[in-house]
Amino acid sequence: MQAITTLLTVKVIHEPEATDAPFVAYIPEFDISSCGTSQEEAITHVKEALGITLEEAEKDGTIKEVLAEAGFASSKRDTAFTQRSRIVIEPFALG
């Protein structure tokens, strides 16, 4: 598979009651999360988890389906993928 360079959402949540690994990093496009003792460690771990997931999907022959489900479209050449969705951050008034 050709390498894909793109921007992904990484949501980091701090859970102070989880003293061993209070930071959780979540990539919603792939529904993958991991944790760590710091924000940086949690992000590193979630990137590793995504890498493993994509490697396994490639081995299993399901990489196209996994990428399509995450919002990527295959080109006509069938070797490159582009991101179909965009993330827009909008302010909301709550309450």
Query: Is 79 or 50 the better-scoring residue by pLDDT?
Result: 50
* pTM of this structure: 0.79
Helix ranges, 61-94 (H): 63-69
Please give the pLDDT value at position 21.
96
59-85 b/e (C-beta count within 10 Å ≥ 16 → b) = eeeebeebbeebbbeeeeeeeebebee
Nearest-angstrom CA–CA distance, 45 and 62 = 23
Query: Is 2 or 60 the better-scoring residue by pLDDT?
Result: 60
pLDDT tens figures, 7-38? 888 999 999 999 899 999 999 999 999 999 99
Please give the pLDDT value at position 5.
73
Please give the pLDDT value at position 92.
87
